[in-house]
Structure formats: C-alpha cells, structure tokens
Structure 1
C-alpha cells in the first residue's frame, strides 16, 4: 500500500529531479502532485489529501514555515519533511513546532532522500496499523451497543449513531443449535474458535451475495446480521450448508425484515427466536467468555490487522518483506495459550485466503479450507497450532510466488503497450510498479533487462516521438503539444525535445514541412 506524496518546490529543475529519484526507487511513496508554492500546495491538498508533504523552506509568497503552520491549522494529518539549505537550517527548525517529521539539506543526493523517505514510510505504516486498531475499537463499541439494544439492556453511545447503522437495512438472525454435537470432539476451550468460524462463514457468504453488512454475536449461540436488503435469499441457505459441511454444526438463519425504527430491533429479535418454533439446547459450557462475542471480535480484529500488514508487504513488491511479515505472525503464536494460538492461526489463514482472492484473484478450494479448519479444531498443543499456521503462511507465499511469475511473463510487452496508449498520463515508475504488483526497483531492473533502456528514458522517447508526429502533421501550438504528450511545463518539454532531436520543437516543425 503506497502512501501519497506531494512535492512543494519552486525550482522546477530540482523538483523534477526529486520526482525522478522517488519514481525510480522502491520508496513506498507515489507522487500525487507537484506545487511551486504554498498556495498551490494547499489547493492540491484539498483535492488529494497526501500522506506526506516534501516542501522547500524558501518559496515565493508563502514560505515553508507559514505553509507548515497552515497545514496544521487546517487540521491536516499529513507528515511534513522540510527541504532547506545550510544557511536556513536554524530557521527551518521552527517547523518542529508544527510537527515536521524531518529535514533534508539541499543539495541532497539520492541516498539522503531515500533515508528520510524510508523513515517517513515506517511512520506511515505505523499510522495505518493504529488507524485500523482504532476502527476495530470503535466497531467493538458499536457492536456492544447493538447487542445491548437487541437484549433490551442499557447501552452507551448516541442513539443517532446506532440509527445510522441500522435504519432502512435488513436484519437476519442466526441460531446455532449446539456447538458441541455428539459426533464432534469439540471441547469448551474451542468455543471462541467455533464462534469466530461461524461468524466468518456467514459474513463471507453475505459478502459474496453483495449484501454488505456486519455481524454481531448477540448471545453465545445467536448472531445478528445487519445488511442491505436486495431480496436475495440464497446466501442464507448457502451459509448454513457451509457451516454444517465445514464445522459439523447445525445453524438456522431467519430473515427478520427491514429495520424501520431502531426501537423495533428487540421485537424483531424476539420474534425471530420463536420463528418456526425453533428449539435449541441452552447448554452453556463452563468456558464461555465473560463477554459475549469477545473471542470472535478479537479474532476479527486480528484478521483485519493481518490483511493490512500483508497488503502493505505485497505493495512493496519485496518477497523478503512479505515472508518476514508472515514469519512474525507465526512466531507470535508460540507464546500464547492454546485457545489464543488457535484463534491467531485461524485469523492468519482467513487473512491469507482473503488477500489471495483480492490481490491474486486466486480463490481457495472451500472444501480444502473447511478440512483445514476441522484439523485446527482438533489440535491440542500450541506447537501444532504454530505448525498449522506455518502451513497457511507457506501456501500464501507459494501463491504469491506463482502469481508473480505468471504476472511477470510478458509484463514488459504489456507495459509497453500500455505506455503507447496512456503516455499523456503520469505513468511514473511507481504507478506502473503498483499496477503490475512489483517493487519499482524490480520493475526497473526487469524493464532494463528486456528492452536495454531504463524506464524513464523509454517513456521520454515515446512521448517525444508522439510530439514529433504532432509537430510534423498538425498546427497545434508547442505548449498544446507539450500538454498532449504528458508535459505540464512547455519549457521543460522544449529542453527534453532538444536533447533528443538536437533542435527545438519549432525548428523540427520547419524542417519537417
């Protein structure tokens, strides 16, 4: 997952040089815009909301300090790196009070730039993980309020928040007959694992059907699914069948209708509890968690965190980084209790399954996945749980490797075709690397190997050749042609054209006619 970076520098040549170094290296950042001064930058920030701003200290109009102050006053969360000369360094330190992350002395070389960008990217990753944790905490509070409302208990939080989550949406209730059927060797310690597995299977089927929603454990064997109403019913029976097939549990799903008023929720729940004269055992095992749904909610948070970490590692295009991320997830299992170890292992497996589908378009065989979950439930030691998780990690790494090998096949030919059609667009190495799921460094190396040219030189040649055709065959003005082939600055375009053709665009036009 790349961060969005904004360059603010009044010297066009230096700004272009910075962008070139960023685009051609695996920095984790995509340049989403350039500005010559603070006012221009503020306008771009309003449109793009960058995660990082690299700004000069000395600019016409609003200088870097005043710009940093405006960024903070407007409540923007973007990190700031200040570009400064030696003579301005003491002045630049005033930006610390506005939260400047670091300083970069001009003139800077590539190594200096990459060092501060790497530091900024680590901070960005930490912020993403923390943001996901805060969202999980907020979701947990909302789930607790929804659960309390369904059970006619007092709840905390404004009613308006709960209404926005529920009004006009449909609700389905799921009832588990028993987590401990006679033909399954489940133990009380497996309850958290079983709860999460049931909730995940239901959520996955609802998501496949496009009925985007959320699932909440109301009681230890009862769930509420608040979702969009689209008239589809197949996902309910499919979810029940999958739970029986994978877990050997019997589950009934009841469509309770659309929520017209938040106050109607407990009535809908109680009515559904009696729908079809459903009879269920009310046996509660001794190891029921103190808070209903705690284990399930905890595992759900683990899944989301793991998905984020894996997505970031994949976006970096670095296989070693991906492997290290997975090894860390598996290693943490060794220090946990058996119940926690199994939940952690299941969270890892579900996260890798989801990311495989999203990133590689590889769907795991549901039957095999169900069999693996059944094996996990039978595990009786932390060591076995760790080995089970290691197997899930290894399968994901293998899928990533196969996908990368297949994707790399003829990727340069496909990229060249893309550039022929989209050369007026930005088409930076970073953007192309993200599009083809590689690191910029790897794509650059592969491109050089296949074509004998570096990427930026090739893109420049494509653009200038297109410009030459327009100069020879149209009456478009030079600045119009510059814009048409991807250059915002006509003067910069003229300099590049002159380097390749040994003459100005105007002279080329005269010679061609």
Structure 2
C-alpha cells in the first residue's frame, strides 16, 4: 500500500517537478497540494497524509508555523522541510517540531529519490508498530485479557471513525484437502491477503488485524457494500483455498460495549473449529494441557502477574521433586500450554519452534536440575514477552516510551535532567535512571547526546550551515567539544561526514 503525500510549496514549477518525481515512485502517491501554509494546514486536516513536503518560506503561514501547528495538534505525520535559503535561521525550530529531514533547493532527482526512500522506511516501521498496537488493543478488549479506562480511551483514538467486521475461519482442515498443522501459517497468510485485497478495493483505509489464529477483525472507515463484499470474500477464499469463512459486522468502534457483546454472542453460538487434524479422541494429556492453559489465562486476566510468576516458580520446584519422567511430562504440558497462549495473544512470531523439537529438547535433559533450569528460562522468556504485550496494548504503562517522548520534546532545554523527566512521568529519578539504562542500553546523558548527534547528522547531510552553527542548533555550546564527541561516537569528524554524504 503506497504512502500518501501532501506537497505544500508556493513555486508552481518546483511543485510540478516534485509531483512528477513522486509519480515515478513505487512507494508514494500525491493526494493533495497547496501553495500556502494555511491551505496546507486545511488539506492536512482533510486528507491526513502520511508525509508532507513543505517549503519554509510561503505566504500566509510559513513552513515552520505549519510544522508547529502539526506538532501541537499531535498529528502523526512525517514531514520534510524544503528550503532554498542558506542561513537556515529556522533549522532549530524545524528540528524541534519533528522535521524528518531537509531538502535543499536546487535539488537533483537523486536527492528527492533518496529522501523519499528514507521516508518510506520510516513509514513502514510506523505502520508495523501501529498494526501491532491495534491488534493488542483488540485482543485486550474482545478477548477480555486486559481492561481499564485508559486502554479503552486509547482504543477509541486508534479506531476513531471505524466500523469493525469479524472474519472467522470455520475450519482450516476441510474434507478433501490434505492440509496439516504445518500449513497453518501459509493458510492464514493466504486468507489474510485475499480478504485484505477485497476490502481495500472498496475502502482505501481498510485494515485487517489478527485477533486469533482463526479470527481476524477488519477495520473500515465506511460502510462496505455488505452483501457484495461478504459474498466476494467468502467465494474467493473457498475457490482459492477450499476453506469456508464467515463475515459478520461487530459494529462501530465508538461503542466498545456493543463490540464486546456482538463478539461474545457470535462465539456462544459458534461451532468450535478444528485447529489441527484430529485422528484420535482427546487424551488425558490434552485435558492436562487445557487445565494448565485455563489456570495461566485466569492469572493473566486477573492482572496478578506476581501470582503468575510465583505459580511458575512453584511448578518448577515441583517438577524437580518428581521422578525425572514425571517432571518432564509436567514441563511438557506447561510448555505446550504457554505456546497455545502465546498464539492467542500474539506474543510470538509464526516462526515458533515445532512441538516435535520441544519434545526432543526436553527428552534430552539429563537430570532434574537441568529440567528445572530449562523450565525457569522458558517461563522467564514468556513473562518478558507478556510484559511487552502489556506495554504495547497500553502505552500509558510504558514509562520508558513516555520518557523518550519527553526527551524528544525537550532535548534542547539547557536544564533538561533525569529529575525533570522523572517528575513529568511521575517516577522516582533513581528508579527511572536504572530502568532507562536497562531498557535502552544507554544512560540518560548518553541517550540525549546521541539524539543531538543524530539531529546534527541531518543538518550536516542536507544543509550548508557552518559546523559552529549546527553545534548551537542541536544544543552543544562549544564547537570543539561537539566535534570531539561526534568523532568519538561515529569514528569520523563532522567535516569528514559532510564530505562523505
């Protein structure tokens, strides 16, 4: 799916040149243009582009004023500053308001192509992050794994103006098809692409999200031609894969209670699908795995993650106290249960270790101590991924991301300190300092310095500002110190960096 571009440029010839260059790109399409900052602002509100190319000097409202307005309204839009001026008196403001890069007039086709390539990479990373966040929010609410007012508010913002459809695979393994459990990922991928393509043909803002391995949620910004879309999707999946799907409307995203009720009502009357070929009846082991899964899910839903940790510790000790064979059976049941829970919550990628490899690994453990150690490591890995899931589902609990956002806003402040950041996000400064180093791998001071140097790279690469001016623009007071830190960090001096780029 191509990214959308709004061009805000008061020189008609240059604007037309940009439009032509972008039309040659495989990754971008122009959806609007404006010749003043004020008109650009109105178009930005109306069109919500992924990227804005804006000139600094324009009538009515200049590019910096437009950037400030975009920034103050919290619009999640990439923007690039276009300028033909050599003094770059506005560079500091442009950087502060989040300019991704600068495009210096006159510019070559390679300059434009290169900057669009960089923007495309940033957009893809942003879309992937948004997709993950939306999926976590859906699972939290529809599957009732985590619910609170802040999370619900975030859901309403992320899905604002959308209507949701539930897409369910009734059976991955129909009669007459030789599909096996190893084909699940390929089948899911095929169904995903068919449904997404059909939805996009009717709604450019359609987004298909994975809820569970046999259910998707389609988010659309308008009413789909219900009968036509539903029939086309079901027919296409049936013809290409021989699999039956069901599509039902859940309702508008603004009514969370209705979404939950509609989802619950559908699942109550639904015949449970077969997620793997069943050649034998459920055995005692299957029942044991189901019991373990229910126990762990109950602890996750309750939000008592200390109790979950204690449960894993208790199971590990118990496995160690049993005869080795019995201990391995206990560990296998829990490992398989964790794998099933991970699939439901989306904690792992699809490139997970097959059950056969898991069984072989556990079988080769020589003693109880090795078994306990292996099980402890597996549970710690699950807890780490679960914690990341909680943070992505509810960004308000992600203290480090809040700290990083604050630093991005205030890194040019001469009095910025870990204490100031901690007070803003309501944490103890000492605790934040330790947590920041653990999560980012950088000290607070080191992170701020690195951020300033990255901003300096943008100016060195795209402007003709003096190094002393760049030094002051990104927050260094002494140019000699700036050059020394730059060279220590990148193993090259600022002057050499500019020559090479």
- What TM-score range do you get, normalising by the shorter chain? 0.3 to 0.5
TM norm structure 1: 0.40
TM norm structure 2: 0.40
